[in-house]
Each structure stands twice: as structure tokens, then as C-alpha cells.
Amino acid sequence: MSESHGLAPTLRDLLVETFAVVLGIVLGLGATAWVEARSERAHTRAVRAFIVGEVTANRDSVAASRDYHAGLMDSLYTRMGPDGTAPSVRLFSRGFIHPATTLSTAWDAAVATDALTAMDYDEVLAFSRVYAAQQRYGESSREGGRVIYAELLARGTPGLAENYRNLFSLIAASRYLETDLIREYDRALAAVRADSMQAPG
């Protein structure tokens, strides 16, 4: 009897120690998971911030080009009558067309590192549409540049200015694409703002 009583505290101690070890492991795993989840959320916020910053800068650049092209169109439109005269080359202070310089560095890095997987699907979809539209704009701008370059070789700078009626159409196409691209930028940025407002504090 005395031997069984002597074993009971030892067994209880063993159970307590085992429970403490298991509890420590569970708490440690939980803490690790919490730290990893927190780190992933911080990384996702950083990736989103980089993309939003890039999209915002690209929007500003495209808006500046759109405004330049709108100004050229206004000036050229006043000359469209039968007695219209060719504009001075000085009117085209930033070129006959001036495509915006846009970047996709943040987006490409996020795609390459699978950083988009933790982002909200609607945001990723909105941004992917933006960058697809941006790529189409870049391709169209390069094609417009090739047309301008060919005309410059064929006519020279004054000759191209004299052909301002055809030039008007090329500028109008650029302005249309820029207006459409800005619309896509605004949609994507609005999606991010809406998601941020719905996210828990």
C-alpha cells in the first residue's frame, strides 16, 4: 500500500510535466504561426503599397501626356478650315506625339515572387487589367512613334508639321488611349481604397 502511494506523486508529476511540455509546444507553434501570418500580412501590405505607388505615378505621367495631346488637338483644330495654315514646329514643344513613360517594375516583381497570392482577388484582377491596358498603350505608342519617324525621314520636320491634318488623327488616337488608360488606373485605385476601408483595423 505504501508503495502504491509512493508511485502516485511520481505519476502525477510526470503527467504535469508532459502536459507542460505539450502546452509549450502548442503555444510555441501558435506563436510561430501568428508571427508568420503577421509577417505575411505586412509583406502583402508592402507589395500593395509598391504597386499602388507605381500605378499612381504612371497615372500622373499618362495624364500629363493626355493634357499635352489635348492642347495640341485644340491648337490644330482651329486650323482645320480650308484656309488653314500649317502650325509652327514650335507648337510641338514635347514632340509631335509625346507618349507617357510607364513602369511595371513593382507588378513584375510581385508576379515573379508569387507575392500576389496573398492579395485580395478583386485587387489583383483590377491591377492585372491596368497593366494589360498599359502594355497595349505602350505597343500603340511605339507604333505611333514608328509612323512619326518614317514621316520625318520622308518629309522632314517642316513637312510633317504641314501634314497636320493627318497628324491630328494620330494625336487624337493617343489622347483616346490615354483617357481610357486613366479610367483603368482610377478603377484599380478605387478597388484598393474600397478594400482598405472594409479591412479590419
pLDDT value, residue 145:
93
Q: What is the pLDDT of residues 136-183, one digit of tens each?
A: 999 999 999 999 999 989 999 888 888 898 999 999 999 999 999 999
Whole-number Å distance between alpha carbons of 101 and 68: 14
- Lookup result for grid cell 505597343: 139
Read off the pLDDT band of 20 (50, 70, 90). Answer: low
pLDDT value, residue 192:
84
What's the per-residue H, E or C state across 33-52?
Answer: HHHHHHHHHHHHHHHHHHHH
Q: Which three cell numbers stand for residue 43?
A: 509583406
Cα pseudo-dihedral 86, 89, 90, 93, rounded to 10: 120
Q: Residue 13 is which amino acid?
A: D
Task: Return phi, psi of residue 137, to 5°.
Answer: -60, -45
Residue 70 has pLDDT above 90, yes or no: yes
Residue 36 has pLDDT above 60, yes or no: no
pLDDT value, residue 2:
46
